[in-house]
């Protein structure tokens, strides 16, 4: 009888424990599903709210971890008259000289190695580059650029011609290596063939077309108004980010070519209702997302139209910044131009690292590293003027490094390349 009673109690306890365990599992699953659902909710950036809040300045050190200077070799074989294109990789620096039209290869110590290809109108030659198209492949085996005569061309790192690429010469707003095995180009709707075609074009490392996405037709009726709104294309860490004209959602295309919503940009009543509004109406009433870039946890949005920080005009923009970690969204404030104190400029960060003038933000943020070249005479004059307040620098080591390089430089020297390494 005692054994039977004990057995009954054990069965009840086991049943109770089993129920508790089952309920716990259900709660965990529900919580997990809820957490998954919550994390998948799209973040919405309230543009109008940000436009009504106080403006804020942004420091260079918020997105840049350090600065590297490369003093290019000066010799008769590699004199550069007017550098207008530059790109760097781990071991190399490539400069396009706008005067001689040459493409010159240096190592990261600044030693001249060779010219890339040769100048001319032949099938393996180039005559006039698009400076922003210059790129080094991630594996440092190839150099690619767009020649206005021959289209996209690819050369080996030893300077020899490899092949002419089948990338459409009218590609606009994006072409980049996604990784060592994949190159991506984006073709705007107004550059599509008459019968339509794909806009995202994917190539292998030897520039053979392997895939394409988003079949579209050209909007020929609106081609004259393409300055109002066009598609936005960006790349960050092997993912493609794409926003179609007048759409509120930014989509992400991953390595498997899967397209998912990523971010919503809500303009509220500042959104342009159509492409048929006049330019005067757009610049007085509405905002249009002209360009965007992602740099780690920061998203930079370049807006044109009804500006808060610049007078209306086709070349005047506002910059909206979104911090993914903190959720902060703010409009960049104007501040004095380091070279021209009477001018206000919202296109630059406050340089609290070496104090020198910086490039327009979104001009270089299309890469994980953005860079510019320094004109020796202007840089020297700027430093000697005492305009840099060293007390406002995060560290004065960059200021001292640059000062030493400039002290040894002459007017006839090749430029000093300055490279910003992002966080």
Report the pLDDT value the prediction gives residue 186, as an integer from 0 to 100: 92
Task: Assess if residue 19 is contained within a domain.
Answer: no
Choose among 133, 141, 256: nearest CA to 205: 141
Least confident of 125-134, 174-183, 222-231: 222-231
Choose among 355, 360, 359: nearest CA to 406: 355
Confidence class for position 22, pLDDT limits 50, 70, 90: very low
Are 329 and 374 in contact by the 8 Å Cβ rule? The answer is: no
Q: Which residues contact 110 (CB under 8 A, 6 or more apart)?
A: 70, 71, 72, 73, 93, 417
Q: What is the mean pLDDT of the chain?
A: 82
Which of helix, strand or coil describes residue 110? Answer: coil
**Which phi-psi region, left, alpha or beta, contains residue 66 (left: φ > 0; alpha: ψ -120 to 50)?**
beta
Q: Distance between CA atoms of 138 and 237, rounded to whole angstroms?
A: 12
Choose among 96, 59, 93, 94: nearest CA to 80: 96
Which of helix, strand or coil describes residue 401? Answer: helix
Least confident of 39-53, 122-136, 356-370: 356-370
Report the pLDDT value the prediction gives residue 184, as an integer from 0 to 100: 93
Give, for 92, the enclosing helix (H) or strand (E).
Answer: strand 92-97
Task: Assess if residue 391 is contained within a domain.
Answer: yes
Report the pLDDT value the prediction gives residue 11, as an integer from 0 to 100: 47
> Hey, which of 19-28, 39-48, 184-193, 306-315 has the most confident mean pLDDT?
184-193
Are 107 and 95 in contact by the 8 Å Cβ rule? The answer is: no
Task: Assess if residue 20 is contained within a domain.
Answer: no
Report the pLDDT value the prediction gives residue 4, as an integer from 0 to 100: 43
Reply yes or no on whether the pLDDT at 17 is more than 60. Answer: no
Task: Assess if residue 29 is contained within a domain.
Answer: no
Least confident of 30-39, 178-187, 340-349, 411-420: 30-39
Report the pLDDT value the prediction gives residue 337, as an integer from 0 to 100: 65
The 8 Å CB, 24+ separation contacts for 181-190 are 181/205, 183/144, 183/207, 184/235, 184/240, 186/231, 186/233, 186/242, 188/226, 188/230, 188/231, 189/216, 189/217, 189/218, 189/219, 189/230, 189/231, 189/245, 190/218, 190/219, 190/222, 190/223, 190/226, 190/230
Reply yes or no on whether the pLDDT at 349 is more than 50. Answer: yes
Q: Distance between CA atoms of 345 and 370, rounded to whole angstroms?
A: 19
Report the pLDDT value the prediction gives residue 95, as an integer from 0 to 100: 94
Q: Please calculate the CA angle 414-350-297 and round it to the nearest 5 degrees.
A: 100
Task: Assess if residue 361 is contained within a domain.
Answer: yes
Which of helix, strand or coil describes residue 75? Answer: coil
pTM score, whole prediction: 0.82
Task: Assess if residue 25 is contained within a domain.
Answer: no
Report the pLDDT value the prediction gives residue 341, as an integer from 0 to 100: 60
Share of the chain above pLDDT 70, in %: 81
Full residue range of the structural domain in which residue 211 is found: 45-422
Reply yes or no on whether the pLDDT at 283 is more than 90. Answer: no
Task: Assess if residue 240 is contained within a domain.
Answer: yes
Report the pLDDT value the prediction gives residue 340, as an integer from 0 to 100: 60
pLDDT tens, residue by residue, 48-89: 999 999 999 889 899 889 999 999 999 999 999 887 888 899
At 57, list the tokens: 């300045």
Task: Assess if residue 241 is contained within a domain.
Answer: yes
Helices then strands, counting H and E runs in the chain, come out as 6, 26
Using the structure block, give the residue that is written with the tokens 């995060």: 394
Reply yes or no on whether the pLDDT at 369 is more than 80. Answer: no
| Number of domains composing the chain | 1
Q: Name the more confident of 362 and 267.
A: 267
Report the pLDDT value the prediction gives residue 346, as an integer from 0 to 100: 60
Q: Name the more confident of 420 and 24.
A: 420
Report the pLDDT value the prediction gives residue 331, as an integer from 0 to 100: 92
Reply yes or no on whether the pLDDT at 104 is more than 60. Answer: yes
Which ranges of 197-324 would DSSP assign to H, the alpha helix?
A: 279-285
pLDDT tens, residue by residue, 292-337: 888 888 999 988 888 888 766 655 788 899 999 999 999 988 776 6
pLDDT average, residue stretch 210-235:
81
Report the pLDDT value the prediction gives residue 345, as an integer from 0 to 100: 65
CATH number at residue 90: 2.130.10
Report the pLDDT value the prediction gives residue 279, as an integer from 0 to 100: 83
Give, for 178, the enclosing helix (H) or strand (E).
Answer: strand 175-179
Share of the chain above pLDDT 90, in %: 40
Report the pLDDT value the prediction gives residue 268, as an integer from 0 to 100: 94
**Largest Cα span, the chain:** 109
Report the pLDDT value the prediction gives residue 139, as an integer from 0 to 100: 93
- Compute the radius of gyration of the chain from its Cα atoms: 27
Q: Name the more confident of 252 and 422.
A: 252
Taking the CB of residue 417, how many other CB atoms lie within 10 A of it?
22
Q: Name the more confident of 181 and 388.
A: 181
Are 139 and 180 in contact by the 8 Å Cβ rule? The answer is: yes
Confidence class for position 359, pLDDT limits 50, 70, 90: low
Confidence class for position 39, pLDDT limits 50, 70, 90: very low
Q: Distance between CA atoms of 32 and 44, rounded to whole angstroms?
A: 23
**Which phi-psi region, left, alpha or beta, contains residue 206 (left: φ > 0; alpha: ψ -120 to 50)?**
alpha
Q: Distance between CA atoms of 251 and 260, rounded to whole angstroms?
A: 6
Reply yes or no on whether the pLDDT at 2 is more than 60. Answer: no
Reply yes or no on whether the pLDDT at 21 is more than 60. Answer: no
């Amino acid at each position: 009888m005692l054994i039977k009673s004990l057995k009954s109690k054990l069965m009840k306890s086991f049943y109770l424990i089993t129920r508790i365990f089952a309920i716990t599992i259900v709660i965990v699953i529900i919580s997990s599903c809820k957490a998954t659902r919550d994390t998948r909710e799209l973040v919405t950036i309230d543009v109008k709210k940000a436009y009504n809040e106080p403006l804020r300045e942004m420091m260079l050190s918020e997105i840049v971890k350090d600065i590297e200077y490369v003093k290019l070799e000066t010799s008769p074989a590699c004199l550069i008259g007017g550098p207008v294109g530059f790109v760097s990789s781990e071991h190399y620096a490539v400069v396009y000289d706008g005067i001689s039209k040459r493409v010159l290869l240096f190592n990261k110590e600044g030693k001249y190695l060779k010219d890339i290809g040769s100048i001319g109108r032949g099938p393996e030659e180039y005559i006039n580059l698009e400076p922003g198209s210059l790129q080094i492949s991630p594996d440092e085996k190839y150099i690619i650029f767009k020649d206005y005569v021959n289209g996209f061309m690819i050369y080996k790192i030893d300077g020899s011609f490899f092949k002419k690429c089948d990338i459409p010469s009218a590609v606009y707003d994006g072409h980049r290596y996604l990784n060592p095995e994949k190159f991506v180009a984006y073709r705007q709707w107004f550059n599509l063939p008459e019968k339509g075609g794909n806009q995202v074009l994917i190539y292998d490392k030897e520039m053979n077309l392997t895939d394409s996405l988003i079949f579209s037709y050209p909007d020929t009726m609106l081609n004259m108004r393409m300055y109002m709104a066009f598609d936005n294309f960006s790349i960050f860490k092997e993912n493609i980010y794409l926003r179609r004209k007048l759409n509120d959602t930014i989509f992400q295309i991953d390595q498997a070519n899967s397209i998912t919503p990523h971010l919503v940009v809500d303009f509220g009543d500042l959104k342009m209702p159509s492409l048929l509004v006049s330019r005067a109406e757009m610049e007085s009433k509405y905002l249009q997302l002209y360009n965007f870039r992602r740099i780690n946890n920061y998203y930079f949005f370049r807006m044109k139209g009804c500006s808060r920080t610049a007078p209306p005009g086709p070349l005047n923009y506002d910059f909206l910044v979104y911090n993914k970690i903190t959720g902060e969204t703010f409009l960049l404030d104007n501040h004095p131009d380091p070279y021209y104190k009477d001018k206000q400029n919202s296109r630059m960060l406050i340089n609290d690292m070496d104090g020198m003038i910086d490039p327009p933000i979104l001009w270089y943020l299309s890469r994980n590293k953005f860079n510019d070249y320094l004109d020796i005479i202007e840089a020297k004059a700027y430093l000697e003027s005492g305009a840099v307040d060293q007390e406002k620098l995060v560290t004065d080591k960059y200021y001292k490094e640059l000062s030493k390089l400039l002290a040894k430089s002459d007017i006839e020297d090749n430029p000093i390349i300055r490279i910003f390494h992002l966080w």
